[in-house]
A and B are shown apart, each in its own frame.
Chain A
Amino acid sequence: MDSEPAPPLGKPQPVGLAAAPADAGRTEAEFVHEVYDQIAPHFSSTRYKAWPVVDQFLQGQASGSLGADVGCGNGKYMGVNPRLFLLGSDRSWGLLDITNRRGFEAMQADTLTLGYRPNRFDFALSIAVIHHLSTPERRCAAVREMVRILRPGGQLLVFVWALEQKGKRRFDQTQQDFMVPWVIPMNSVHNTLTASTTGETSNAQDAAEDSTAPVTSSTSQVFHRYYHLFREGELEQLVLNSDLASQVTVTEQGYDRDNWYVILTKREAEKSP
């Protein structure tokens, strides 16, 4: 993975946007929600390996804990630790259908307003989700909503794509908002459709969200997804520079596989004066 060959001619590259798009809701609907529905089976076939930090977080939760996987995709984290029980949610019906067929709890909901009762969950996951929200206010609101559903003492793990990533992709370091292509090789369409129900293929498209297959636009389908790439420290600042600073503590932070991550712990309720 470290020695990636030069991208084939004509391979779609990420496109930097001079600024975040003006209409946040519409941009996310068109360049996040609709795209994930269209690419769901292929995307799912590339998502089966648990990232080590996420795996460790899940293995570290007490047996019998209740978790929320917010933006659960194909449910790849929902069965990692069978001693836990997770409720998954996502925008994409296509991905939820896969999750549900695997026997996991799947709910269609927006990450900004989940519909769960407050203070219920022992932990929550937000893996590769809030970088699809196009304003700082919306990214912060997503974290606030997950903190709301955590019980005091509950933990939230947030993963976002890093601008400084050293893997397959290099991004223009002067910008943070990008359209990132997702490529479905035409010859893989049939295979991924059948593979999506088992969630296992030999496709190597995992850690970095990139197609490794040498494809050209004439033999493949290209979709563009909106991303806000996070700079070092930005994820913690998003939390600590907001009202959330009084509700959570930052328990852990770090960099893993082209992503920044943070673990937040919800503070015990303040005694009323």
Chain B
Amino acid sequence: MNDQQQTLWDFMRQQSDKLATQTLEHIGLTFISLFLAVLVGLPLGILIARRRKLSGSVLGIAGILQTIPSIALLGFMIPLLGIGPKPAIVALLLYALLPIIRNTYTGITGVDAAVKEAAMAMGMSKWQILFKVELPLAMPVILAGIRTATVITVGVATLASYIAAGGLGEFIFGGISLNNTNMILAGAIPAALLAIIFDFLLSRVQKLNFKKIKAGTYALPVVIVLLASVYFIPSAYGSKLTAGFTPEFMGRQDGNLGLQSKYHLKIHTIVISDAVMYKAAYEKQLDVISGYSTDGRLKAYNLVVLKDDKNIFPPYFAAPIVREDALRKFPELEMTLNQLSGKINDTVMTELNYRTDYLHESPEKVAKDFLVSKNLWRPDRSGSDGIVRIGSKIFGEQYILANMYSMLIKGYTDYDVTTKTGLGGTKICFDALTNNQIDFYPEYTGTGFLVILQPSQQIINSVEGSKEKTYNYVKEEFEKRYQIKWLQPIGFNNAYALMMRQKQAAALNVKSITDLKNYLDKK
């Protein structure tokens, strides 16, 4: 525990620059959105307090906006507003709207009717009544709404990092993908503190306000604008192209860190979530992204992979891994599974992923079509000579592979098959395998190497990112440590890759990462 705190503190100190920028960005984002939300929400609240008939529909719409999942909302924004601060601010604004409109409405409609009548009886005009009576008296309620909106916005602003708008979400989501607790906490703790501090300050404003409203009403917008101006929109683009990398990629040695140390790539980089990255590249918001080389979206969005000519991305060749006792129990299994070896290259896998992920064809159909086209498919022999249990992780590519293996086993042997698809992550799959709950599943060499074996830096260096060396190392180690056998690789390499739009890459004549670096270095 003590150790943990120590390292968290160290991490925060080491990253204090980043932490400060992210915190300021976070505050800025929060208050720009809040300011705009007040600018929109307050008049709307006043309007529906005047025209009660409108109140149902306006509050309804604001309510619906708030239930849209944040990622989806951010996704909708990209085609309209691109990536970066603009869509993030709009999205945050939409989330902050409901409490502000609702409280303005309740605040104003809640003003004592006798007081309003007195104002009218003394000859105040509608506007005078609004500014001198209704708004001041509704102010505590309106402030409560702004307070709620602030807390919501501080929270949702962490998601801004998904679309490259910065903020403390960079640490939080980076930390989650990298499984780095300190990084998560370095983002989460300041974000929580911000929420608590702003909530506390606004509660003070609320209390102090009742009698000194006149001063308060003017001070508040000024404070909000000041806080909003903290956000200097990160638009000082240094390079000709813009890269968007996932938080995970940003923090990994075999990711952005390697790009910088091995290729000396200098490119304006923003952090963005995997969910919207490909789309943003397609929409020309980004020029270079970090993806997976067999992702179906590569094809869907017409992207090309740049050749990793210095081999910084470790190979992630897929191969079935099988417990040795299962191989003994099912003697025909190895041969059957190896039929797929060398049959699927990157392009083919990308195409297959495209069909499931993007065209939403069933993995079963895609698997069968492929086997038929390769003349591998045979009808089910309905055997009953024991049951082989296949596992798979929880994404499309693994579903396709599991289906292919199932069909091969049923067609070529007398074994029956059950599949346990959708086993959360590497750890869950691997544990199921070692605990004899499944017999085999498709794994990637890089994952086996870095995630399961977790070798020393020395060994990592000795493997040098070579396909063969990595494969041999994991094969040997898995046999020794776990009595698990790596069968022959299927052929494709689902590794990290840098990608660009096909057209742009062709126009700039960029084929490899070195080409990219050279292009960027040209003045």
- Asked if A pairs with B, the answer is no
**B→A interface (CB under 8 Å):** none
